[in-house]
With several copies, the nearest count.
Chain A
């Protein structure tokens, strides 16, 4: 099991030894509740499949589809970073290393479920139909990027953790209407420290909402390692505070992610309530293109994490299953490059929005004063 906390001495030093009562000497206390957090991995870092892996592990067409999207997300990400470096994109939050989590989660969902992302879950979004050009448009500083193709999914959410109550609210609407749909809400390891995370999962638990909360534990919240964020041994156990199941999964094993999230969704659809899934992965990139992780992060840790990244292990598995080889890899890479090229072209050729755009979507019924300000803005529009 990959534990990003490994490198952070603070974490273990601070964790109370056994989470048990300050035992009154010589007194036997009654146990009134017990909990366990389980961990799921099927495909290890070397690509070895566990003996008890689910049927999905031999569903090659599904595995190939997931591998395709993981590869696409990886290539898209690298292109986006490049665009930023060359001044053609704004600050960008890379998804490097998160591909198995993002694709596994999306693959487990139904199209009419609703996704509430944070800001770097591009693999999920592309799977769910969001055009790469929409993603680029948003990170290029254009709101039209959020008017994207997954019509009911939430846009990117910058205020950390504030999307969690949205996911719960969406699930509440689904429950009230008796639908068989679910919401899936992402949150980062850092995000679990915000009260909104806890408030949202507590509501979901209290009302048994059809919701799944995926905590992407990539080890870091900008410069703060997970061991400084919380004293907990896992993030899955945060679920216990909401009275709901929490489970840890190897976030670099797309089979495990898809399986566990699939089970959680099935449970939610049955009306049995929400689940917190902690996906253990690693942020292989800087926090964003505006960050320089070398200031605060040990390169040895990053190197170690590269040994566990999600793509090679799935490739190894597919190769073992004889559905993958170097030629197919080459072909896929080219195909991805072409798709990405087209998306970049579309993005770069999107004309600037008019200044009106900042006024025209604020209200369905805009007040007169706003229309007057729109006039002023037209007058002072900068030449670009």
Chain B
């Protein structure tokens, strides 16, 4: 047992699986000698060689397309996109091939690929280094979208993602990479995909969040507890397909729902959660659903980015408003 940061947990999940499954290969820009710009793949090239840990030329579409080609040949590529804002050139390959190859060929060719990338802002990075684009991927049938919020979940969910026979987009909240340390056993134990994780039980209101925003959401829940408000906190974890059942169950209990995400509000994943509750849990609701999200504008450069990302105060106010109804 060792206490590790999320970035170390990710690194160990890679190493564990590469030791046990020779089909796993790692590709991306600067993932080899440099070990990734965040050091997620540090040391892997030394351990597993240049064939299995490959620096690629600078072209995300090519990286994703190459991963498709390799996967159809039975390999299990883990491809890194350096920052989520640079996923756009890869979307054609992800949406039109990775997500579709099994369906297109009726199962003849498949794409067990993991596309990993840092997600979200708050790290004072330059433009295009702070994007939260999960909704774009979630809208595509044939993909799973996963986003851990702790080192242990990063470890367990990444292992599950690598072992999944279909493509998984694995979003790593950049501002959590080194925020906290947590014990992980590094025993190759995967965590289940397609389910929410209940981080806190509560009875007054359900808070659903994922990725880095789980930190602020939990903090809001703790603060509110002091005021006598009991919050149930769910980490969505798999952003697509969504585990609506757990959310609906929780809302049936609490009667109130606040969704927290960093991505822009319009057509974000929060909309899908709220819509499903409006369809299937309407009679359980004691108050209107609330979304606390990034604004429908471009996430600003560092001087203003903290005014963009939802704060604990905004979350707490939303909870109070929903309780006041």
Contact = CB atoms under 8 A, between A and B. Distances in A.
B228 interface: no
Contacts of B187: none
A164 B110 CA distance: 17
Among B142, B307, B308, B314, find the residue whose CB has the most chain A CB atoms closer than 10 A. Answer: B307
26 contacts: A91-B125, A138-B301, A141-B305, A142-B301, A146-B108, A155-B105, A158-B127, A158-B128, A160-B58, A170-B72, A199-B62, A202-B62, A203-B66, A221-B29, A295-B33, A296-B33, A296-B34, A358-B297, A358-B298, A358-B304, A358-B308, A362-B141, A362-B298, A364-B165, A365-B194, A373-B265
Nearest to B112: A364
Contact of B57 (A202, A368, A382): A202
Interface residues of A, number: 81
A206 B33 CA distance: 17
A223 B164 CA distance: 31
Chain B contact-residue range equals 35 or more
Contact of A364 (B34, B96, B102): B102
Interface string A324-365: 000000000000000000000000000011010111011111
Interface of A: 90-91, 114, 116, 119, 138-144, 146-148, 151-152, 154-156, 158-160, 162, 164-176, 183, 190-191, 193-196, 199-200, 202-203, 206, 221-224, 228-230, 290-291, 295-296, 352-353, 355, 357-359, 361-365, 367-370, 373, 376-377, 380-382
A161 to B, nearest CB: 8
A374 to B, nearest CB: 8
Nearest to A292: B34
B69 interface: yes
Among B74, B302, B305, B313, find the residue whose CB has the most chain A CB atoms closer than 10 A. Answer: B302
A57 B265 CA distance: 59
A351 B105 CA distance: 18
A223 B31 CA distance: 9
A191 B58 contact: yes
B249 interface: no
B101 to A, nearest CB: 8
A138 B301 CA distance: 8
Given A141-B302, A359-B297, A364-B165, A168 B62 contact: yes
Given A159-B128, A162-B97, A174-B73, A362 B303 contact: no
A166 B74 CA distance: 13
Interface of B: 25, 29-30, 32-35, 37, 51-52, 55-59, 61-62, 64-75, 85-86, 88-89, 92-93, 96-97, 101-110, 124-129, 141-142, 164-166, 194, 241-242, 244-245, 265-266, 295-298, 300-308, 311, 313-314
Given A155-B105, A158-B128, A224 B58 contact: yes
Among A166, A183, A230, A291, find the residue whose CB has the most chain B CB atoms closer than 10 A. Answer: A166
A382 B311 contact: yes
Contacts of A138: 301
Given A154-B109, A361-B107, A228 B57 contact: yes
A357 B300 CA distance: 9
Contact of B102 (A174, A362, A368): A362
Contacts of B89: 194-196
A363 B107 CA distance: 9
Nearest to B124: A90
Contacts of B55: 223-224, 228
Contact of B72 (A154, A369, A377): A154
Contacts of B297: 358-359, 362, 370, 373
Given A363-B142, A382-B311, A169 B70 contact: yes
Q: Which 8 A-B pairs have the closest CB atoms?
A: A169-B69, A165-B65, A141-B302, A223-B34, A173-B73, A367-B241, A199-B62, A169-B66
B72 A152 contact: yes
Given A206-B57, A222-B30, A359-B295, A147 B301 contact: no
B126 A158 contact: yes
B302 A194 contact: no
B96 A159 contact: yes
Contact of B307 (A158, A363, A381): A381
A222 B37 CA distance: 9
Contact of A196 (B65, B105, B300): B65
Given A165-B68, A222-B30, A362-B102, A140 B303 contact: yes
Contacts of B67: 169
Contact of B241 (A139, A221, A370, A380): A370
Nearest to B142: A362
A202 B70 CA distance: 17
Nearest to B313: A380
A193 B59 contact: yes
Contacts of A222: 29-30, 34, 37
B62 A203 contact: yes
Among B58, B73, B314, find the residue whose CB has the most chain A CB atoms closer than 10 A. Answer: B58
A116 B62 CA distance: 15
Nearest to B85: A159
Given A169-B66, A224-B30, A361 B57 contact: no
A369 B241 contact: yes
Given A295-B33, A364-B102, A155 B109 contact: yes
Given A159-B88, A165-B93, A169-B70, A199 B33 contact: no
Contact of B61 (A158, A165, A376, A382): A165
Contacts of A176: 25, 51-52, 75
Nearest to B308: A358
Contact of A173 (B74, B86, B164): B74
A202 B25 CA distance: 20
Contacts of A364: 102, 110, 164-166
Contacts of B110: 364
A138 B142 CA distance: 20
A116 B97 CA distance: 13
B47 to A, nearest CB: 16
A162 B308 CA distance: 26
Nearest to A363: B166
B75 A173 contact: yes
A174 B72 CA distance: 11
A170 B304 contact: no
Contacts of B58: 160, 190-191, 193-194, 221, 224, 229
Contacts of A190: 57-58
